[in-house]
Structure 1
């Protein structure tokens, strides 16, 4: 199953690495579409830290660099689950800014944007699956539950043993008192 996972991760991450690289090199072509989204995010960024650059071109470059880095991590299987979540996060503003089919009056452009929106939605679903994929190994939730169950059983055994030993000690003490001495 490992080769299938590796191939699927590489195929899923390919679009992010390639488009991230192109968008990093040439962010200017995306500025008009991204501007409405970055204008909404700018006040939040300024409140978080005034030193964060908020111009649209820089935000596009940052998003592109994150996509390239996380895409390479997903493709190589290094921190694949967190990388998939990061890519899913970068996909949200890209989809909203790049494919707002709800704002388009031209039927052909609306259809095109709707197709790309749904494609990105499918990529988002694939990234969520990649983020949940444990590679055939038990996930943290299962391991934690299993460990808790094991601990509970151990405690129950210890309590039963302590009760048994206490009963034996009480019987031994009673027997010792009855013996003539």
Structure 2
């Protein structure tokens, strides 16, 4: 792991670990914030109608995935989980478009954009293969290899069939000469 990854991952993860712990310990602070989004999206997605449970679950996910990212364990999965937790958190906590007060609207917009920047960092971390080929590249290699193997097998089968046909004709000619 490069020095940049070793330093950047814990830096990116720190906010999620601290914020997740706060959400888990003190969900009441966030339940009022979550409720409007839960009322809009909850029935469609099939979420339980318990904002406190959802805030705590989000906090646990943030702590677990943030810790994994900080330690460099399963960083792509951890980053993906953190990105998934950040989207509803940002939409629920920073709806600057609903604010009427210009000063409050500006504050919410800054927080929204900060979270958008974090989301960008998480998406980069989620696709970071550390210089090794990703799954798509590996799948393409396996597919190409399987295609070559199938083509070679078909070619060898044709050659074997032709050789068997030649051998059969030769044996037939030899048998006619032996009889005649």
- Are positions 1:23 and 2:18 aligned together? no
Q: Find the counterpart in structure 2 of residue 159 from structure 1.
A: 154
CA distance in 1, matches of 2:78, 2:57: 15
CA distance in 1, matches of 2:151, 2:15: 53
Structure with greater Cα Rg? 2
- For the residue of structure 1 that corresponds to 2:133, the secondary structure is coil
- Are positions 1:4 and 2:4 aligned together? yes
Give 5+ residue unaligned stretches, structure 1.
Answer: none
Q: CA deviation at 1:41?
A: 4.6
Q: Find the counterpart in structure 2 of residue 37 from structure 1.
A: 37
- For the residue of structure 2 that corresponds to 1:23, the secondary structure is helix
- For the residue of structure 2 that corresponds to 1:105, the secondary structure is coil
- Are positions 1:91 and 2:113 aligned together? no
CA distance in 2, matches of 1:66, 1:142: 30
What's the TM-score once normalised by structure 1's chain length?
0.83
CA distance in 2, matches of 1:43, 1:178: 81
Query: Which one of 60, 69, 73 corresponds to residue 74 of structure 1?
Result: 69
- Over aligned residue pairs, what C-alpha RMSD do you find? 2.2
Query: Which one of 130, 135, 146 corresponds to residue 130 of structure 2?
Result: 135
Q: Find the counterpart in structure 2 of residue 63 from structure 1.
A: 58
On the 8 A contact 1:38/1:59 being kept in 2, the answer is no
